[in-house]
Amino acid sequence: QVQLVESGGGSVQPGGSLRLSCAASENSFGDKGMSWYRQAPGKERELVAAISGDSRTGYANSVRGRFTISRDNAKNTIYLQMNSLKPEDTAVYYCNYGFGSPVFNSWGQGTQVTVSS
């Protein structure tokens, strides 16, 4: 099991943008599916976006049109570009292997995204 490290979070005003990164500490993503999840205070963790080994993508309805998931296998990194951020996007964001279904039981520390005026 490789370590995944999320970064790029921060505090922004509504309508702002952030780009999150998820990097593997070793080995390579190869052609494996990857996903972004988030967990808001008092809520269950939810799937945000997924990208397949062939770069097909899927998004939660709440973020479709605003978020974009991408990958760079050479850098062992996936990204989540978040635009037009809303207060309801406030959450800790996590990544994991798997296309919409987490492969690893252990989650990293995630990266905090706070959207507030």
Mean pLDDT of 81-100: 97
Q: What local confidence, expressed as pLDDT, does residue 98 receive?
A: 93
Average per-residue pLDDT in the chain? 94
Give the containing element (helix H, strand E) for 75: none
Q: What local confidence, expressed as pLDDT, does residue 1 receive?
A: 62
Q: What local confidence, expressed as pLDDT, does residue 10 receive?
A: 98
Q: What local confidence, expressed as pLDDT, does residue 66 receive?
A: 98
Q: What percent of the chain has pLDDT over 90?
A: 81
Mean pLDDT of 36-48: 97
Report phi then psi at 87, rounded to 5.
Answer: -55, -35
Distances (CA, A) of 16 to 36, 85, 115: 19, 5, 8
